[in-house]
Amino acid sequence: MIENIFEYIKEHILVADGAMGTELYTRGVPRGHCYDELNLSRPDIVERVHRDYIAAGAKMIETNTFGANRHILGTYYDLAEKTFAINEKGARIARAATLGKDILVAGSVGPITRPFETENRPGVSELNGIFSEQIDALIEGGVDLIILETFADIEEILIALHAVKRNKPGIPVICSMSFVEGGRTITGIDPQTAAEKLLSQRVKIIGANCGTGPRGLLEALKSLAISKDTILSAMPNAGLPTFTDGRFEYTAEPDYLAYYAKKYAMAGVAIIGGCCGTGPEHTKAIAEAVGNLKPKPPKKIAVGVIKEPGEAPIREREKTSFEKKIEKRFVYSMEIDPPRGTGTAETIEAARRFRELGGDAINVSDIPMARLRMAALPLASAIRCGADIDVVLHATARDRNLIAIQSDLLGAHALGIDNILALRGDPPSVGDYPYATGVYDVTSPGIVSILSAFSQGYDRLGVEIDNPADFFIGVALNQNATHWEREVAHLDDKINAGAKFIQTQPVFDIKKLETVIKAVDGRAKIIASLLILASERHTEFLHNEVPGISIPKSIREAMRGLSGAKGRERGLEIARETLDALREKADGVCLMPPFGRYKLAEELIS
């Protein structure tokens, strides 16, 4: 075996293997199967992949354990309890595949969390435990080093690094991050900042893997080289995948990888392999191109001053029309649900009448309760133009991926829609298409962060956009939450991300609103939702079946036995009493007329 990786790379470029997951996929393992589990059920196919990479010229192979941590394995039936076994066996399979040759075995450890994940995200202590369990098993299985790869979050890779140091002080570690379009990780970390933080922890080998392809990876590697003592690692994808005839295919050919392997070597990279889409044929081409070369020292870049996020100059955001109103006086808005068809005339007319009666804005909901309706953005634009009134657009994380969310929000601003209420969105399971898929690339704090970045002229990755987009950003708050402390913690996250106004769930208890005021503590404007009750049946349904709504017993008793005109009349009386109280405590109100009966809202403000 190669006993010391650092001695080896003094004289040789270390050729690493290629992908494991996509290679297993090309060999017939279906998508959706837990590839790490194959260490237990099909060790033969995993070992064959290892041996093919070794035969192709790899001097370092990685264990089939990239996602083999308790958090990810727990998404599969009963696999979390097999975490240690999967990792230990993965290390032993790789060791057996070397057949006693001079081959290094690297224990592959990937990230635990998804970028922007805010719900069910493990805390630091839990992350420490999850990483430690996996790393301990890999070491027990006999790996020579650990590779922390495809990380986007610098804080998470540092937690993993500390777990390695605790479990096996002195074992070599490669810290490799994934940089995407624009030269940053998906969480916005640039290579220079990553290198600074990793090297400050005495990491000897840093690198980049995955990403957009060989060319983009080269630029990231150049920025990682901030010290002449930096040891660089490069493991690019075989380009970007295409989906053809029901299968993913990567386009970069072996010769193309070999071409860039030479460029990596000229830039001072000492460890060169492949990531997604690369197979033994790519490894063979890389080995033939650079396997006999001696590493060059990396070309040190000129290091500028790295500013912490808080040190960056903050652009003064231009306030929206609705924002200016709420800073001066109590404002009135009305929520409108998009139609279930294509007709907008009635909705636009209701918005116009609301404006004439003194209304300030229309809230346009985004597929409420996950039930099919017209998209919110085109309706918001039609109302903005047809009724000449400000619009508060609801934007949920449920239906769009990270790209589409940003694209739609930029489009909204171009259409004059600059007030956004960021929401997670009701899950598809509660709607009329329960089998539809929820996306949730981000949750509401993530949307707030996107909007805040736009106001500074950048997208979520920190890539500059053509023109800054000035949004008045709002978020929801459930004053009836069972776990109030958790709700307040989420609120703090949203305000810290840039939320400027809070919209409550429908208020029926003024004391509950006072808890909201205390939690917000003047950090944002408060808009109280006011839902007009229509009947006893409507009241009981809202109280018992709609999440987030709680109606006091006294109001339910007041609506007892009422329906039709009498129910609406009593509902309006209750709403007027509540509105009088809200004017004294909140900054505005969002009226929510039932069943599209907008005239009830008109009666409240006329």
Helix ranges, 35-123 (H): 38-41, 43-56, 70-73, 83-97
The region of weakest confidence among 306-315, 360-369, 372-381, 441-450 is 306-315
Helix, strand, or coil (residue 15)? strand
As a whole number, mean pLDDT of residues 209-225 equals 90
> What integer pLDDT is reported at residue 563 of this predicted model?
95
Helix, strand, or coil (residue 240)? coil
> What is d(CA 313, CA 156) in angstroms, rounded to the nearest whole number?
27
> What integer pLDDT is reported at residue 115 of this predicted model?
65
Contact 545, 574 (CB under 8 A): no
113-143 pLDDT, tens digit each: 876 555 567 889 999 999 999 999 999 999 9
> What integer pLDDT is reported at residue 247 of this predicted model?
65
Beta strand 419-423 with 145-151: parallel, antiparallel or unpaired?
A: unpaired
As a whole number, mean pLDDT of residues 561-567 equals 95
Q: Is the pTM of this model over 0.95?
A: no
pLDDT at 307 over 60: no
Query: Quick one: what percent of the chain has pLDDT higher than 70?
Result: 95
Beta strand 269-272 with 241-244: parallel, antiparallel or unpaired?
A: unpaired
Helix, strand, or coil (residue 142)? coil
As a whole number, mean pLDDT of residues 460-464 equals 81
As a whole number, mean pLDDT of residues 39-52 equals 97
- Mean pLDDT in the chain? 92
- Side chain identity at 309, as an amino acid letter? P
Query: Quick one: what percent of the chain has pLDDT higher than 90?
Result: 77
238-273 pLDDT, tens digit each: 987 776 555 667 888 999 999 999 999 999 999 999
As a whole number, mean pLDDT of residues 405-427 equals 95
Q: How confident is the model at residue 547 (pLDDT cuts 50, 70, 90)?
A: confident
Q: How confident is the model at residue 315 (pLDDT cuts 50, 70, 90)?
A: confident
- What are the respective helix, strand and coil percentages of the chain, to the nearest 5? 45, 15, 40
As a whole number, mean pLDDT of residues 422-443 equals 86
Question: DSSP states of 267-286 as a string?
Answer: TTEEEE---TT--HHHHHHH
Task: Give the N- to C-terminal CA distance of the chain in Å, as an integer.
Answer: 85
> What integer pLDDT is reported at residue 515 of this predicted model?
96
Contact 347, 354 (CB under 8 A): no
> What is d(CA 398, CA 436) in angstroms, rounded to the nearest whole number?
11
> What integer pLDDT is reported at residue 312 of this predicted model?
47
> What integer pLDDT is reported at residue 310 of this predicted model?
42
> What integer pLDDT is reported at residue 309 of this predicted model?
40
Question: DSSP states of 498-543 as a string?
Answer: T--EEEEEEPS-HHHHHHHHHHHTTSSEEEEEEEPP--HHHHHHHH
The region of weakest confidence among 181-195, 505-519, 542-556 is 181-195
Query: What's the burial of 148, exposed, middle or buried (CB within 10 Å: 0-12/13-18/19+)?
Result: buried
> What integer pLDDT is reported at residue 534 of this predicted model?
95
Q: Could you count the other beta carbons within 10 Å of the beta carbon of residue 149?
A: 25
89-105 pLDDT, tens digit each: 999 999 999 998 899 99
Q: How confident is the model at residue 286 (pLDDT cuts 50, 70, 90)?
A: very high
**More confident position, 251 or 581:** 581
50-70 as b/e: b if 16+ CB within 10 A: bbbbbebbbbbbbbbbbbbbb
> What integer pLDDT is reported at residue 31 of this predicted model?
79
Helix, strand, or coil (residue 145)? strand
> What integer pLDDT is reported at residue 472 of this predicted model?
98
The structural domains of the chain, ordered by start, are 5-302 (3.20.20.330), 314-605 (3.20.20.220)
> What integer pLDDT is reported at residue 120 of this predicted model?
63
